[in-house]
């Protein structure tokens, strides 16, 4: 069975601070995908990144960066110089790479509030 844990329920930071959102996962699959999604108040899940389990290189996209460590089953997400527009709920998710349905298993989310 797959499981994703986001231990941080809520985080509040002041604008321009850096913030890291933690994600720990469990899976028996040797090949899998990890995702991060952003959910603003409108409800739509906005795709941020997909990472293949074979690729442990860290990735940076503008103010966003991701640290994937297979040894600790973690896929953490850092926002540098946070902005008020970053306020949202962030979800980490896991799916098998092969198989019939490849459903997403989500964590419970982290509510990020960036204060001006």
Partner 1 sequence: ETGVTQSPTHLIKTRGQQVTLRCSSQSGHNTVSWYQQALGQGPQFIFQYYREEENGRGNFPPRFSGLQFPNYSSELNVNALELDDSALYLCASSLATGGLNYGYTFGSGTRLTVV
By the criterion CB under 8 A, which residues form the site for partner 1? 4, 37, 42-47, 50, 91, 93, 95, 97-98, 100-109
Neighbours of 37 (CB within 10 A): 19
CA distances from 86 to 24, 112, 114, 115 (A): 22, 8, 7, 10
Considering beta carbons, is residue 4 or 21 the nearer one to partner 1?
Answer: 4
Considering beta carbons, is residue 75 or 107 the nearer one to partner 1?
Answer: 107
Contact 102, 110 (CB under 8 A): no
Considering beta carbons, is residue 82 or 95 the nearer one to partner 1?
Answer: 95
| Nearest approach, Cβ of residue 48 and partner 1 (Å) | 11
How many Cα atoms sit within 13 Å of 61 on the Cβ side?
A: 9
| Nearest approach, Cβ of residue 99 and partner 1 (Å) | 8
| Nearest approach, Cβ of residue 84 and partner 1 (Å) | 21
| Nearest approach, Cβ of residue 106 and partner 1 (Å) | 3
CA angle 8, 115, 44 (to 5 degrees): 65
């Amino acid at each position: 069975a797959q499981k994703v844990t986001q231990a941080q329920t809520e985080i509040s930071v002041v604008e321009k601070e850096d913030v890291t959102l933690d994600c720990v996962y469990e899976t028996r699959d040797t090949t899998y995908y990890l995702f991060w999604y952003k959910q603003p108040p409108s409800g739509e899940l906005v795709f941020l990144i997909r990472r293949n389990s074979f690729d442990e290189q860290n990735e940076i996209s503008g103010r966003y960066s991701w640290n994937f460590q297979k040894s600790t089953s973690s896929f953490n997400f850092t926002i540098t110089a946070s902005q008020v527009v970053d306020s949202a709920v962030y979800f980490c998710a896991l799916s098998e790479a092969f198989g019939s349905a490849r459903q997403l298993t989500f964590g419970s989310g982290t509510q990020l509030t960036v204060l001006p």
